Amino acid sequence: MSVLQNTLIVLITLAGMEAFSWIIHKYLFHGPLWFIHKTHHRKQHTFFELNDIFSLAFAFAALLLMYKGREIFDYRFWIGSGISLYGIIYFIFHDGFIHNRFKSFKTSNTYLLGIRRAHKIHHKSLSKMPASEFGLLSASRKYFRK
């Protein structure tokens, strides 16, 4: 496969992960898996939350795909790479920027501030319902207005 095809697979996987994550966050994490996800909605966060199991599961799936596709760098390797890239973005963006665990991450960027605002609204609720704004990289337009 060409570099262009591999790049497209990674980018499509990255976009697909945002959609997939939004769906499972809304319908599973705030549904039957709330007993795990609620550890992420507490006011005080700990170094390891039970909710981190979800990240570990995604990492395992990504590594398994990359391992299975490693010999000829087939589509599985590039899908695993896309999932891994989403995981890296999640860690830096969600944990670092949105939850402000890296205090030096300052910005005046409208998009970034809108995503942070939407996520703060999501975390206002300390219970399963009501909740809104389930995306990591996407949010309703109203959060991007100044």
pLDDT at residue 126 is higher than 70:
no
Minimal CA–CA distance to 95: which of 38, 142, 55? 55
Q: Would you say residue 99 has pLDDT above 90?
A: no
Residue 36: CA count within 13 A, CB half-sphere = 12
Q: CA torsion sign, 26 to 28 to 32 to 36?
A: negative
**Residue-level pLDDT at 122:** 85
Between residues 64 and 108, the one the model is more confident about: 64
The confidence score (pLDDT) of residue 43 equals 73
> Tokens for 17?
């992960």
Give the domain ranges of the chain. Answer: 3-108
In 3D, which of 52, 80, 49, 55 has the Cα closest to residue 66? 80
Give, to the nearest 10 degrees, the angle between helix 52-68 and helix 75-89: 150
Both structure tokens of 90: 């999640």
> What's the whole-model pTM score?
0.85
From the centroid of its chain, how far is CA 128? 18
Return the exposure string of 100-111: e unless at least 16 CB atoms fall within 10 Å of the residue's CB, then b.
eeeeeeeeeeee
